[in-house]
Structure 1
Amino acid sequence: MPATLVGLDSLTARLPELREQYRAAQPFPHIVLDGVLVPEAFTRAAAEFPPIGDAFWKGYLHVNETKYGNTQPDTWGETLAAVAKEFVSPDFVAFLEELTGISDLLPDWSMDGGGLHQTLRGGHLNIHADFTTHHINENWSRRVNILLYLNDEWHEEWGGQLELWDTAMTAAQAKVQPAGNRMLVFTTSDDSFHGHPDALTCPEDVARRSMALYYFTEGARPVRKATNYRARPDETGLKRAAIALDRTAVDLYDRAKRKAGISDDQVSGVLERINKFRRPKG
């Protein structure tokens, strides 16, 4: 394994240029970085990505999303876990602070909402703004997302481009192809709307794969908001109603998760039983 998995030196050398691009980006501050991992590290990490039959995947299967997540780095391959550790290292966090202009960022090794994600053929993630505070450390406000795509190959016609929408939800102003070894970094806020809402058309044996890590700042009384799913302008009244109803259910679950200790594992188990025919074997 290479001594350094993330090409941080080259990224840091470009900081003046990258910082300007990041802060000028629309519809909210973001940047797309290609070749983030050194080539050997990317090859190893992509090869280690767990298949869908792995026991540690949790299903997030409801109206507004159909994806699987693994938030347990100790179950990942050696390279994947080492990459995640570099992303929470002081040097990488310092790079993010310089890039985004947000100081005192706190990485989250508990992977609250993050970790490995994969979406199968037919899966989607409706446009949304992310939950705003950490579920355990409730004085932590979510500020920055990084998404590293881990697909060996991805064809544009399969869909899955991450759409970045304006605050008024009138149009997608940017789209990010989930190409392998590409990272999207963006500032999270109440209205940093994003998602890939159309069903994937990739082959049955291909998944849209990524690693997500989130960074927080600590404050006295941050405002808790659950994931805010939104309908697109051309979506019908019935679909709008379904999105809104599911958004309410997600908010209730978010409250229960914080107050009553209901876990993702418990909910995932119920959803898995309901959606058992969605998930292929192997």
Structure 2
Amino acid sequence: MASLLRLNALSGAPLATDPFEYVIVRDFLPAEIRPALEKEFPAIDKPGVFPVQVLRYGPLFAALLEELRSAPFRDAVSQKFSVPLDGKPIMITVRGRCGPRDGQVHTDSENKIITVLLYLNSRWEADGGRLRLLRSHDIEDVAVELPPDWGTLLVFRRSDRSFHGHRLFEGERRVLMLNWLTSQEDLDHELGRHIRSSRLKSLIPTALLERLHWRRVAR
């Protein structure tokens, strides 16, 4: 099967440095796989991120995950950011929906080296939910605003100034996230935390979970 990733587009894309190091590639996936991939996207009816280990999906989605884990993709990212990734563990998580707490400004945890976001939504029309790369912790201090359109790839290097977030959006918002982490110990910790959270969410009705999110925001 031909590659699902347009690695040449990633290699040829410019590395931006303002407000931090990032690369954007639109149409990173071939258009012809979109209908099948949309059907195979994991069924997620709650907000939050879920590790792929707890999700069910079809063979094309599985093939996409394998290519994202592959050496050619790793090497393309490594060369673009001039950072060694060989031997670094990978964590892949998936988001299917946003709740009221999602999108808060953050920089990602220090155990993450590189963050990859691959968006899998139809053309985005909403004002909220557009990822903002920020110059500070202020959601309005915007350097770049990126609609999460289907096939859009964002890769950035985590730093103390890699602020990002989005304005409030509630509803379906599909994104596949990959992180290279600093150590296997960090991967085990992060993966265990996400798996425990996923199991807890599966026991809580969606409406109650969203009400709990709202209460936390109001505090």
CA drift at 1:87: 1.2
Preserved contact between residue 73 and residue 81 of structure 1 (Cα < 8 Å):
no
Preserved contact between residue 147 and residue 211 of structure 1 (Cα < 8 Å):
yes
AA of the residue aligned to 1:33: V
Give percent identity, aligned residues only: 24
Query: For 1:219-273, what per-residue CA distance to the aligned partner results, in whole angstroms no more than 9, with x for missing partners?
Result: 9xx9x9xxxxxxxxxxxxxxxxxxxxxxxxxxxxxxxx95xx9743434444565
The aligned length equals: 207
- 1:165 and 1:214, CA in 2 relative to 1: closer, same or farther beyond 3 A? same
* SS of structure 2 residue aligned to 1:124: coil
Counterpart of 1:127 in structure 2 is: 105
Runs of 4+ in structure 1 off by over 6 angstroms are none
CA drift at 1:162: 0.8
CA drift at 1:104: 3.4
Counterpart of 1:6 in structure 2 is: 5
CA drift at 1:183: 0.4
* SS of structure 2 residue aligned to 1:145: strand
Counterpart of 2:194 in structure 1 is: 264
**TM-score with structure 1 setting the length:** 0.62
- Rounded Cα–Cα distance in structure 2 between residues aligned with 1:278 and 1:116: 21
Runs of 5+ unmatched residues, structure 2:
211-219
CA drift at 1:10: 4.3
**TM-score with structure 2 setting the length:** 0.78
- 1:100 and 1:43, CA in 2 relative to 1: closer, same or farther beyond 3 A? farther
* SS of structure 2 residue aligned to 1:87: helix
AA of the residue aligned to 1:32: I
Equivalent of 2:177 in 205, 212, 228: 212
- Rounded Cα–Cα distance in structure 2 between residues aligned with 1:172 and 1:272: 35
AA of the residue aligned to 2:149: A
The reply on whether 1:76 has 2:57 as its aligned counterpart is yes
- Spell out the pairing of 1:170-249 with structure 2 (5 A cutoff): 171-196=141-166, 198-200=167-169, 207-217=172-182
- 1:69 and 1:267, CA in 2 relative to 1: closer, same or farther beyond 3 A? closer
Cα RMSD, aligned residues only: 3.2
Counterpart of 2:132 in structure 1 is: 163
- Rounded Cα–Cα distance in structure 2 between residues aligned with 1:209 and 1:96: 22
Counterpart of 2:20 in structure 1 is: 28
CA drift at 1:143: 1.3
CA drift at 1:215: 1.7
Counterpart of 1:245 in structure 2 is: none
Runs of 5+ unmatched residues, structure 1:
54-58, 60-65, 134-141, 225-256
- Rounded Cα–Cα distance in structure 2 between residues aligned with 1:279 and 1:149: 24
Counterpart of 2:214 in structure 1 is: none
The reply on whether 1:45 has 2:33 as its aligned counterpart is no
CA drift at 1:166: 1.5
AA of the residue aligned to 1:214: N
